Structure 1
Amino acid sequence: MNGWTKRIDPRWVLAITCLLGWAFKGHCGAYWLGDIQYLTGCYSDAVPFWGLRGVSAGQIPYLEARMEYPVLTGWLIWAEGLVTRTLFGSGATAAHFLFVVAAVNAGLAFLVLAMMRRARVDRTRQFAWAGAPPLVLYLGHNWDMLAVTFAVAAVLFARRGGLRIATALAALGSAAKLFPVLLLPVFGLAALFARGGGGVWRRVGAATVLAAIAIGSWGLVNAPIAVQAFANWSEFYTFSSARSGTAASVWEILAQAGWWVTPVPTRNLWSGLVFLGGAAMIVGLGWIRHRARPWLLFAPVLAWFLLTNKVYSPQFDLWLYPMLVLTSYRLWPVAWFALGDIAAYFAEFWWFAGIDGYHPAASSSDIAVAATFRAASMLWLIGSSLLRPAPAWVLCPRTAPDTA
């Protein structure tokens, strides 16, 4: 372990990172003039949501206002709006709301670090999270940190053998953002093929219990809203299905190059088939090495999902980054992924600025180069997860050396 990691507390590093994240988004607040939100990257979903989703008026999500997020995120947005109006009164603005959103996300980032410390993740990995570039980019961007926190908690509970709690956490995470649902098949397979788990029917029973926990946990928070306001509740799912794609996704890059221009239904079909086929291969090959710890396969499956999905919004990298910090055999490929994230972030936002005639501007070719760099690091990490053993902190958490 390097001497500086012994002397510096990662919580102080995380505090600095969160302050940088707030400064990155908060410097222009709600005052977007001359495409500053794209030129400097200070765009935040909190700003339009303040006025356009009834947050400033205190409208109840789904029942009184539209909300294109899953239920737990919708309620988090409402709660943050309540805090904003309480703290700042009638003079509350979108800038105040952005501050509250960033503060809550910072609290969640500290919770993730606390879970890592409790799990005895080695200090180098703690610092990798504490100084995470995605936290600077996305702390004030939107509300995906809620689902990230649930996903990290689910992975760490699964590591301890608490599959039932892990399943409930993953299901609740998918009620905040959909991606933690990818943990559920891994947990089911872990129960179904557990060594020393008894006979076939006992293992089938264990997997069935996990399925019931997942359905019950997800349904508990979704059913009341779905029954009362189905159209608004389902907007997240219908909106996701109807979207054509985003500029940094593989499908849109291919379309911009004129190589494969497809209508939305065709894109939905092929992206789904490619993901499912690749995910099955990742789990099948990874099972040979990681059968005792199948939760390690979540990171490569999630990376493959991002690569094959028709939508690759910038903040999606925040989903993957902590999973790579926890499960990657080495951390230097994670650093390459973070660099690709930064490049793709500014390429995409400068592309928006260029459309409006501002500079610096980026082209679709610039986005393709940045996305290709990021994709190469992700493919490397997927391959490494299948060929390399678990990281040292997983195998021997009390004496694990730092890895780099």
Structure 2
Amino acid sequence: MTSTEARAPWVARAVPYLPLGLIAALGATLAYVVRLPCRTGGWNDQVSTYTNFCYTDIYPLYFDRALATENPYFAHVPFDKQVEYPVVLGEVMQVFSWIARALEPDHVSQAVRFYDLTVVLLGVCLVVGVLLMAAVAGPTRRWDPLWYAISPAVVLAAYINWDLVAGALSMGMLLAWKRQRQVAAGVLLGLAIATKFYPLMFLGALFLLTWRTARWRPFLVTLGAAVGAWLVVNVPFMVFAWEGWRRFYVFSQERGVDWGSPWLFFQNKGWPVLGEADVSKLGMVSLAILCLGIAVLTLAAPRRPRLAQICFLALAAFMMTNKVWSPQFVLWLVPFAVLARPNWKPLVLWQLAEVWYFVAIWLYLLAQPPLSRDDLGIGDDTYFTAVWGRIITIGIMMAFVVRDVLRPDKDVVRQADIDDQAGGVFDDAPDRFTLQSALR
């Protein structure tokens, strides 16, 4: 934020963001309209759900996770029926289930009301996330968040799950770091990790840039605040509801290869024969190799990379090596991809691949047991074109970001005489450690 912006009244500072907020609200509304065929009864018929492309986890989980009668973490239900989400999301689900039960007499009506309440929250999170992203991007790139506000892939995936909550918290963390409010950044990061696990990757990005700049105090303050915030919201459940609390971590460890993952392709083709344990090991090894490459890139680049670039690379590496790659994971990556490299051509290519995957996954499920509707669905080969379409287009974007890091003159953000729009203490910081200096 410039000194002129800081002196301006908050109303004047807010005016440039108003159009973005309205467009994000339009995106949130369109996402609701996309699922109207299901909301009016389609969720009770899987074929109708898939042919109308309006699936969501929110409605069925109201029944499948005993939200109609129980507290998510204290539920007297089998372990595999307990809520498999971190505690922030679990308690959001609990609060909305209480409200739904108070407003509606029967379970079906309660589930619809639970969905509506959740969608209101997610819509607000989308608008807030877009506005926070605009503040992170700064005045010269203020319209870049339109990709997050209303791109087709975001609209289609917005209400499949609760991912937009973690997205708003992650953007809040990035803005707090930009404004050098390290405690706030840490608290928001800790809450984001307690909502969805993927923001943990951003700690690695902060660590690598801290290593290069030796700005250790801000990083350690943020790390301490993140750990503290995570403990505050997790420890009560660890103490009083251990079995329910650990369900997320056990589920993540034991979960097999699922839809969207490249490992599913290799298992399907038998190239080579992979068991679940093999995939878990290969996934961790692959992620470790990619993270090592990102570390070398960060420390060897001729100029310190921007924070958004390293966050994007780390998050993309996590997604590409994971056992699961659900359609809504696009929501994780969009804001960081745009902040890392706001070039429309690779972004359009990737968004087209995401839209194709969104269509393909539901058509593929139609052809799988127990539905086995080959007349409506698609087969393995067609489905895996969508899987590889996402992998290849994200790989292309990663390659461009790596090119921008190695050749900063190609970075469109830095061409506007900006060092690091989200860097905070890293912005214009001199190098204190690089691989070249270490070798010398």
TM-score (norm 2): 0.81
Question: Deviations for 1:110-135, whole angstroms, at most 9, x for unmatched residues?
Answer: 10122133333524313222212233
Please tell me whether residue 300 in structure 1 is matched to residue 313 in structure 2: yes
Whichever residue aligns with residue 413 of structure 2, its letter is A
What is the aligned partner in structure 1 of residue 178 from structure 2? 159
Cα distance, 1:213 vs. partner? 2.4
1:5-404 superposed matches below 5 A: 9-29=19-39, 30=41, 31-33=43-45, 35-57=47-69, 59-64=70-75, 66-88=82-104, 92-119=109-136, 120=138, 122-194=141-213, 197=215, 203=216, 207-287=219-299, 288=301, 291=304, 293-355=306-368, 356-358=371-373, 359-388=375-404, 389=408, 390-392=411-413
Evaluate the alpha carbon distance shift between residue 191 and residue 93 of structure 1 in structure 2; reply closer, same or farther with a 3 A threshold: same
1:392 aligned partner, one-letter code: V
Following the alignment from structure 1 to structure 2, what is the Cα–Cα distance between the partners of residues 346 and 33?
Answer: 18
2:438 aligns with none
- Structure 1 pair 189/86, CA: closer, same or farther in 2 (3 Å)? same
TM-aligned CA deviation for residue 90 of structure 1: 5.2
Structure 1 residue identity aligned to 2:372:
G
Q: Verify the 8 A CA contact 1:62 1:233 in the aligned structure 2.
A: yes
- Structural RMSD (CA): 2.6
Unaligned runs of 5+ in 1: 1-5, 198-202
How many matched pairs? 386
Alpha-carbon offset, residue 295 of structure 1: 4.1
Answer yes or no: is the 8 Å Cα contact 1:303–1:320 preserved in 2: yes
Q: CA shift at 1:144, angstroms?
A: 1.0
Distance in 2 between the 1:382 and 1:214 partners?
28
- The answer to whether the 8 Å contact 2:308/2:336 transfers is no
| Inter-CA distance 293–99: structure 2 relative to 1 (3 Å threshold) | same
The aligned amino acid for 1:79 is V
State the Cα distance separating 1:93 from its structure 2 match.
Answer: 3.0
Q: Note the alpha carbon deviations across 1:150-205, whole angstroms, 9 max, x for none.
A: 1122223333344443233222111001000001122233334325x4xxxxx3x6
Q: How far does residue 34 in structure 1 lie from its aligned partner after superposition? A: 5.2
Q: 1:168 to 1:319 in 2, by over 3 A?
A: same
Identity of aligned residues (%): 23
Structure 1 residue 302, shift from structure 2 partner: 0.8
Structure 2: tracts of 5 or more residues without a match: 1-15, 77-81, 422-440
User: 1:321 and 1:43 mapped to 2: Cα distance?
Assistant: 21
Distance in 1, Cα, partners of 2:200 & 2:416: 26
